[in-house]
Amino acid sequence: MRRRLPMALPALALVVGVAGCKQWMEQQPRYDTYAPSSLWKSGTEAQHPPAGTVAQGDLARDAARKTPPTVTPALLERGRQRFDIYCAPCHGLGGDGNGPVVQRGFPAPPSYHSPSLLAASAQHLFDVITSGYGVMYSYADHVAPRDRWAIVAYIRALQLSRHAEVASLPPAVQRHLP
């Protein structure tokens, strides 16, 4: 009587055989960053992109940085949420520059209600959030461009809440003021 091999034995042999194969992708020749190279005229493996090259997504990102969205209640609410998360620790909830971090010894940022920041353009505020300024570091990696514009809109709302002239308010609102 002949003995039959179990069905799992050929599958096991296949798995063992594949596991023993060399992984050529890990062992292929490659250049280290800034290593010398005879392949290029410059003599190094690091090459500048061809003239006129635009990285994927750069044009859309640039447009988002230069074009503020229309101010809506939803945008202001989003701006308030992002402001409370990212800005209020230093600037305070009212934008006075007296947040909890400042109360523990960090240098105080300027108040959003100071004459210089009241006169600052929205693009300037956006650029400061993007690139940082003074002791403030960049939030470009933490806050998307649309959210940066939402924060700027909320900062403007904070400024208006303290510096609005009664005469500029609609008559229906003026009637409710003391």
Which pLDDT score, from 0 to 100, does residue 5 have?
58
CATH of the domain at 140: 1.10.760.10
> What distance in Å separates the CA atoms of residue 158 and residue 99, rounded to the nearest whole number?
15
Answer yes or no: is 29 within a domain: no
CA dist 42 → 29, 33, 46 (Å): 20, 14, 9
**What is the number of structural domains in the chain?**
1
Answer yes or no: is 95 within a domain: yes
Selected residue with higher pLDDT from 174 and 138: 138
Question: What tokens were used for 33?
Answer: 């960053």
Buried b (16+ CB within 10 A) or exposed e, 50-86: eeeeeeeeeeeeeeebeebeebeeebbebbbebbeeb
Answer yes or no: is 36 within a domain: no
Question: What tokens were used for 89?
Answer: 């620790």
For residue range 70-117, list pLDDT tens digits in order: 999 999 999 999 999 999 999 999 999 999 999 999 999 999 999 999
Chain centroid to CA 110: 22
The domain containing residue 87 runs over which residues? 71-163
2 pLDDT above the threshold of 80: no
For residue range 124-173, list pLDDT tens digits in order: 999 999 999 999 999 999 999 999 999 999 999 999 988 878 888 788 88
Answer yes or no: is 142 within a domain: yes
Answer yes or no: is 171 within a domain: no
Answer yes or no: is 51 within a domain: no
Radius of gyration of the chain from its Cα atoms, rounded to whole angstroms: 30
Which pLDDT score, from 0 to 100, does residue 76 have?
96
Answer yes or no: is 20 within a domain: no
Which pLDDT score, from 0 to 100, does residue 1 have?
55
> What distance in Å separates the CA atoms of residue 63 and residue 12, rounded to the nearest whole number?
57
For residue range 8-44, list pLDDT tens digits in order: 677 777 777 666 666 666 677 778 888 888 888 888 8
Which pLDDT score, from 0 to 100, does residue 24 have?
65
Answer yes or no: is 50 within a domain: no
- pTM recorded for the entire structure: 0.66
